[in-house]
Structure 1
Amino acid sequence: MGQIICAGLGPGDPDLISVRADRAIRGARHVAFFRKPGRQGQARRIVTGMLDDGAAEYPMEYPVTTEIPFDSLEYNDLLSRFYDDWAARLRDLAATDDVVVLCEGDPFLYGSFMHLYVRLRDQVPMQVIPGIPGMVGCWNASGTPITWGDDVLTVLMGTLPEDDLHRHITCADALVVMKTGRNLPKVRRALARAGRLDDAWLIERGTMPNERIARLADVQDADCPYFAIVLVHGQGRRPVALSGDVE
């Protein structure tokens, strides 16, 4: 029996792939990756030029491509059947050989691979290779530390209801909002209500060749791709101890 290896690819720049993930990708005979129908897929783009010429590729195409709330029964049913189907396919492949699954960012931080992992972990040997989360690439691209001292970092999904976004934003020191895209107008309103809009930045395709960094207040709502994260940098809630006070 083989195993399923999930390789975390990091935020988008191939140079930020770990040595372990690079080794697994280059030696893979079977490679699976998520993508939208008709697209190359972000994960596949990141590993361009890295796969062996004889590697078999398995694009896992989402049945739906629009982020909607978790309480949508139809959306969850479609995705559940999609993950069930691909879990079975990967299990069959791993019966005789290793399979590498590509995952942007870190597989265990809001990654699609998690849904395959919970279905397969008791059936097939599995290895998960960590990756630099996309948000980390974005706040480093901004050139400003995301947290200082005792700042609390809050990570939100743009798919949350506006009132929930506002409530969490009001309590946050430093803030990351993922899954923006079509949710950007709602995110903007919640930030404005909380008095944080002027401090917010939009990072598009962080660490990638077409990276863009702009103040959120200056960005049009329609001008926001899926691979965009909103950041509000922390300011430091308490003084940091002087170096002489640190043992």
Structure 2
Amino acid sequence: MSGTLYGVGLGPGDSELVTVKAARLIGAADVIAYHCARHGRSIARRVASPYLREGQIEERLMYPVTTETVDHPGGYDGAMADFYAESAERLAEHLAAGRDVVLLAEGDPLFFSSYMHMHKRLTGRFATEIVPGVTSVSGASAALGIPLVEGEENLVVLPGTAPDGDLVAHLASGSAIAVLKLGRTFDRVCAALRAAGRIDEAWYVERATTDEQKIARVVDVDPSTVPYFSMIVVPGATNNPLAPQGAEEGGGVTVVGLGPGPVAQQTPQVRAAIAEATDLVGYTTYLNRLTPRPGQQVHTSDNRVESQRAEFALDLARRGRKVAVVSSGDPGVFAMATAVAEVAAETEYDHVPVTVLPGVTAASAVAAAFGAPLGHDLALISLSDRLKPWEVIEKRISAALDADLVIAIYNPGSISRNHQVADLKALLLERVPGERVLLLGRDVGGPGEALTATTVADFDPSVVDMRTLVIVGSSTTTVAERPGGRLVFTPRHYGD
């Protein structure tokens, strides 16, 4: 009968944080295995040592490399793959002989642990069991004595080896952060923290829960002293004493764009601004897309009171609040950035800081869903005649058609505005051929997404509502029906 492979988590370093089950299995196992560097010392074995017994077989799985260059034809990844394969076969011999094997893992076996490489290679051949352990993130949080997250805050865990762009993007998101695998990556992570504007919020924890534990602000750490077993932690703003406290630093207004709908299309910069705000101001429908964190004030209003909303936000900022004015799409495209800027230009508010953060536009999202219909010169026109007369709209659409521009049409119709789309079709039929490409994108990226590629002649105005964006192609816009999927594009070249 074959033995069982146990992946046993030992916790962050203190032998007393080993679970009762882990201690029992370590003491009962026939074989104790652990990874180590070429110096032969193993932190995992040291943590487990109080629970070992005489007579146990020990398998020391020594890494052939750590971070240096190698001569292996497959490079570092190839050398490590061969090592894991060879190590798995060493353990397989014991398991096949009926011996139970405990493979020790610092922290948790399936959390940035070498155990997972053995598990993937052996779990289909032998019985396996995972014994979870206290993670290093939990150990660091306990050492700090600061809650990492509260309420609706979220936690992102990153390896210090992640690409620079990924580090900056996640650090700028406003989330609570834990960055592992420091050592030689410490300077890179610090540079990413500075780029994200969060270096002053960050804590350094070294060898958490052990006798060698150290805690400091990241800005006070000498990079040359940082070992691999250390971590940078940025707790959520609710409890982090290093986090900016909003109104105490002086107020301001940041106008943000949520993008067309999906959370994945929000920029990290926008998410960070929303997370840092003391107050969220906007149209009810857009604010309903957000989950306020504890302590944030939410101020909803109707979509037809843009100037009043801007004044309200600026008044809050004058009283020291950090206000995020929320728009859909991009705030500078038929949205709140103009209203805020217009009011902020008045003498009464000219000392209030105003920042505008871009978002993915509805036109960009719909175009991307079809392919590349906005690949050449284009015009963006709102069909709403609430703030400008219909005669002006007609004149601008006619001029864009005469110039052979692709036109992205916003705000096409609503319950109270139901003639505009029919009038648009009539205008199009007067000025362009009936076979001109026309695209309809509704709720792109959302659960009700609908994409329709049609022509001006076949265009049905009754299917268009306020959640639909209309793209009228130019004379060169092409619909390519392909086995690999339809693509619509407007070539960047023009003519012969």
Q: TM-score range by the shorter chain?
A: over 0.9
1:30 paired to 2:85: no
Q: Which residue of 2 aligns with 1:243?
A: none
Equivalent residue for 1:128, pick from 114, 127, 130: 130
How many Å apart are 1:54 and its aligned residue? 0.7
How many Å apart are 1:58 and its aligned residue? 0.7
Percent identity of the aligned residues? 38
Q: Which has the higher contact order (CA 8 A, sep 6+)?
A: 1
Q: Is the 8 A contact 1:203 1:214 kept in 2?
A: yes
Q: Which residue of 2 aligns with 1:106?
A: 108
How many Å apart are 1:73 and its aligned residue? 5.0
Q: Is the 8 A contact 2:205 2:213 kept in 1?
A: yes
**Matched position secondary structure for 2:85:** helix
Aligned residues: 238
User: Structure 1-normalised TM-score?
Assistant: 0.92
How many Å apart are 1:38 and its aligned residue? 1.9
1:50 paired to 2:51: yes
Give the alignment of 1:1-247 within 5 angstroms: 1-66=2-67, 74-95=75-96, 96-236=98-238, 238-239=293-294
In 2, Cα distance between the equivalents of 1:186 and 1:73? Answer: 26
The runs of 5 or more residues in structure 2 that have no matched partner are: 239-274, 276-292, 296-496
Q: Quick one: which amino acid aligns to residue 228 of structure 1?
A: S
In 2, Cα distance between the equivalents of 1:146 and 1:9? Answer: 22
How many Å apart are 1:50 and its aligned residue? 1.8
Q: Is the 8 A contact 1:67 1:159 kept in 2?
A: no
Q: Quick one: which amino acid aligns to residue 78 of structure 2?
A: D
The runs of 5 or more residues in structure 1 that have no matched partner are: 241-247
Q: Quick one: which amino acid aligns to residue 93 of structure 2?
A: D
How many Å apart are 1:172 and its aligned residue? 3.6
How many Å apart are 1:160 and its aligned residue? 1.4
**Cα deviation digits, residues 188-224 of structure 1 (max 9, x gap):** 0100111100111110000011000010000011110
In 1, Cα distance between the equivalents of 2:74 and 2:186? Answer: 23
Q: Is the 8 A contact 2:19 2:133 kept in 1?
A: yes
RMSD: 1.7
**Matched position secondary structure for 2:223:** coil
Q: Which residue of 1 aligns with 2:246?
A: none
User: Structure 2-normalised TM-score?
Assistant: 0.47
Q: Is the 8 A contact 1:29 1:52 kept in 2?
A: no
List structure 1 segments (4+ residues) > 3 angstroms apart after TM superposition: none
In 2, Cα distance between the equivalents of 1:29 and 1:119? Answer: 20
**Matched position secondary structure for 1:7:** strand
In 1, Cα distance between the equivalents of 2:153 and 2:4? Answer: 40
How many Å apart are 1:67 and its aligned residue? 8.3
How many Å apart are 1:129 and its aligned residue? 0.6
Q: Is the 8 A contact 1:4 1:127 kept in 2?
A: yes
Q: Is the 8 A contact 1:28 1:52 kept in 2?
A: no
In 1, Cα distance between the equivalents of 2:105 and 2:174? Answer: 29
